[in-house]
Structure 1
């Protein structure tokens, strides 16, 4: 059984990692725009305000804002029928709380989406992808319930403006990062679990309201959630390791439980009770959550973890990976991420068995250092091998296990600023961009070997992986 004929093949990007043009077209600043490269390029550093003589990667990024036609033409050359993109919230509402949208921002995305459609590429739009308008800081960001109103105004604006042109939506990127990287997920700079859980609750409510609005505005709209792919194996068959892994997965999967099922699972309610945390529930909220469940679940998949009795709490972002254990059976990337193709099949089964709704992989890829040869070619067999093995396991999930997988969009099809580090040397793309760690370069685009390989994969609907 091959992949379905309507299977979605493409790539995925985020506005703050590719667009640049940080203040052009009336755009306001976002939480991403005050994140710079940290010590030794290992992690991001957040500055309360913009500092002089400091390199902020998102301010220019790879200049997709001015080069989107060139980039989309390259995507079309690979034969895509889907492109997962994000819309920058502060490009539409510069401070986040305006009554009317920024016409220049809408015009830019009109041009991008029309260009995609002209090439036969269906847009899958992430409404909020790690760039909360910085102007909402005065409200306390997502700790404040008012943000649900501002978000719904923004989302409704998109649903109405792009009606008929965009039919696939994601409400929040990797929403469970509120527990691991709360500043990234929503401007929350706090170690207080009650603050994080309040912010998460408000995002759940905002998402549920947006799902209902999307369906009301256009019944053809399909709205999904996006889960940051944390999946774990027990360190051993010791029951303590199994329970430790269960607790770890509860910390992550409760986010998808709420968005897919429409209510908080009992295990999470009991945990919040033990912690003395009271959710800011108002009359009618629980009905909103039930009415606003998503149509499909999407997720990022880069690795699996090993967890157990020694695992305390949750990960501090993907860059730390300190669960107390390592998997001796897996190789690792140059950035220390475990490479586990079979885990992709496992994760697809886990999510479908749990929620019984369609699943889509919207991020999967290998960050690596690429070398441009004297003749301009880039031989990235390591990336091809990584993607081939993962697509093979996705194929098994479809053919052998019967999981209804909607599609696959690799991360990131064109080299972009790395979220976790701010580096440019951590490259994922099929398309090379001439840019270094300090923002220097011609920004010239080059096709890597993987470009031609992925073109063949797409044209064969996943049959030709050689």
Structure 2
């Protein structure tokens, strides 16, 4: 019976793809993604992050009480990672640079030469194999001393981020074509689950958004002003979740659009749109703030000069796409408590009948990919885009057929977005190259194309079925009857 079920699932996976065009554009780029904190290890060779600090205070904040002090040991074994990338045949590798590995205390007056050496070796090793580095400057690993100053709620952070970026451009910019400034999120500023656990929803998270956007814009203009000869492409990454109305009522449709603007547009509208926060976000926060007794909106304002500075500060957009949500309108609250959710005035949830991954938030909704890309195209004049993350979690199985099916479905939706909707998507990065440290769930959920044995001091890497599938896809550059003989 087990064999029958497995065979039936293989038949499902290898059904021919039916879409208008099964072939990716000739100039479409395939890649994979990772982040420094999640794979590098090398804890003793960098400064302390905010996440390190909170783990030391309470290791049980991570599901298995594990940490990233060694992780995949990519700090010492980066050449093995390059070999895997070569075997996959990818065009680019999206990785991040650890701010505290370059600047141990976060400030530009103390540069770590070992950090410079490590990333020079990684970048040179990639280019020697004709793999383009796509480098993220900040991916959730803020130096602890900067969080002591308030982190992304303190306006000075945007200047410090610019100082950090200048060091990156000076040391690596002559070889890096694609830079991502920030992998955006407000984790920990509006809740008490994630470090830094500020738990000021409706205040701290809005400050985080504004200062993040300003930091991005400062780095963009720095690149064009002081490093123009490098001809770098500068982008920003947003979490592109889709928000679908729970019904076709006008109230739920409006609530779904509010959810999109509060969670996606709040980042994109300043950079890719008008230069300011979305109108509905400004209106909602102002109204609720006044009812709560504030003299002005809790949402920080962009000055006219800041609007002009931030607007159009991009060469491309990165979109992380995993899942979708349903949205219902909710009644207005009239209490004195304030929060992002109260301002948004919407209930966000997922249908329990949707197929899920091991992560409880990750439901398989490939239709959401096409919808969010179409929404971005319509709202922001179809900017050049990369899918900078897309992945599926499981328990780390070598024969990871669920991941294969997930990638097949999402790439089919991506082809439809490119072919039918004329969305300008230039490339796709699977998350992730390796099983790695997944933040608050530790090593209990795995996203890798390659299995990592975390009980092995050498962190043995083993290819999964998904890596073989993706390798063949890159070779053929098309979705068709998928390569069952290879798995």
TM-score of the superposed pair, with normalisation by structure 2: 0.83
- Cα deviation for residue 293 of structure 1 reads 1.8
- Cα deviation for residue 196 of structure 1 reads 2.2
Matching of residues 140-159 of structure 1 within 5 Å:
140-159=150-169
Decide whether the 8 Å contact of 2:108 with 2:164 is kept in 1.
Answer: no
1:210 to 212, 219, 241: 219
Cα distance in 1 for partners of 2:419, 2:100 equals 42
Decide whether the 8 Å contact of 2:245 with 2:252 is kept in 1.
Answer: yes
Matching of residues 190-229 of structure 1 within 5 Å:
190-216=199-225, 217-218=227-228, 220-229=231-240
Decide whether the 8 Å contact of 1:231 with 1:304 is kept in 2.
Answer: yes
1:120 aligned residue? 130
- Cα deviation for residue 59 of structure 1 reads 1.1
1:400 aligned residue? 420
Task: Give the 3 Å change call, closer, same or farther, for CA 181–346 of structure 1 in structure 2.
Answer: farther
Residue aligned with 1:200, SS = helix
Decide whether the 8 Å contact of 1:176 with 1:255 is kept in 2.
Answer: no
1:334 aligned residue? 358
2:430 aligned residue? 410
Decide whether the 8 Å contact of 2:104 with 2:110 is kept in 1.
Answer: no
1:14 aligned residue? 35
Bigger shift: residues 204-213 or 343-352:
343-352
1:256 aligned residue? 268
Cα distance in 2 for partners of 1:212, 1:433 equals 40
- Cα deviation for residue 416 of structure 1 reads 0.6
RMSD after superposition: 2.8
Cα distance in 2 for partners of 1:108, 1:443 equals 19
Q: Which protein is bigger by CA-based radius of gyration?
A: 2
Q: Are residues 1:364 and 2:384 paired?
A: no
- Cα deviation for residue 144 of structure 1 reads 1.6
The gaps in structure 1 that reach 5 residues or longer are 46-53, 317-321, 372-377
- Cα deviation for residue 445 of structure 1 reads 0.8
Decide whether the 8 Å contact of 1:215 with 1:222 is kept in 2.
Answer: no
- Cα deviation for residue 450 of structure 1 reads 1.4
Task: Give the 3 Å change call, closer, same or farther, for CA 153–116 of structure 1 in structure 2.
Answer: same
Residue aligned with 1:57, SS = coil
1:429 aligned residue? 448
Bigger shift: residues 161-170 or 456-465:
456-465
Cα distance in 1 for partners of 2:181, 2:192 equals 16
Cα distance in 2 for partners of 1:299, 1:323 equals 23
Q: Are residues 1:269 and 2:269 paired?
A: no
Cα distance in 2 for partners of 1:38, 1:137 equals 15
Decide whether the 8 Å contact of 1:433 with 1:446 is kept in 2.
Answer: yes
Task: Give the 3 Å change call, closer, same or farther, for CA 39–32 of structure 1 in structure 2.
Answer: closer
Decide whether the 8 Å contact of 2:324 with 2:350 is kept in 1.
Answer: no
Cα distance in 1 for partners of 2:83, 2:51 equals 27
Q: Are residues 1:23 and 2:44 paired?
A: yes
- Cα deviation for residue 166 of structure 1 reads 0.5
Task: Give the 3 Å change call, closer, same or farther, for CA 145–314 of structure 1 in structure 2.
Answer: closer
Task: Give the 3 Å change call, closer, same or farther, for CA 360–144 of structure 1 in structure 2.
Answer: same
2:369 to 333, 344, 347: 344
Residue aligned with 1:59, SS = coil
Residue aligned with 2:375, SS = helix
Decide whether the 8 Å contact of 1:148 with 1:205 is kept in 2.
Answer: yes
- Cα deviation for residue 441 of structure 1 reads 5.8
Q: Are residues 1:353 and 2:378 paired?
A: yes
Residue aligned with 2:358, SS = coil
The gaps in structure 2 that reach 5 residues or longer are 1-20, 290-296, 333-338, 483-487
Cα distance in 1 for partners of 2:67, 2:446 equals 14
Bigger shift: residues 87-96 or 425-434:
425-434
2:258 aligned residue? 247
Cα distance in 2 for partners of 1:6, 1:110 equals 27
Q: Are residues 1:450 and 2:466 paired?
A: yes
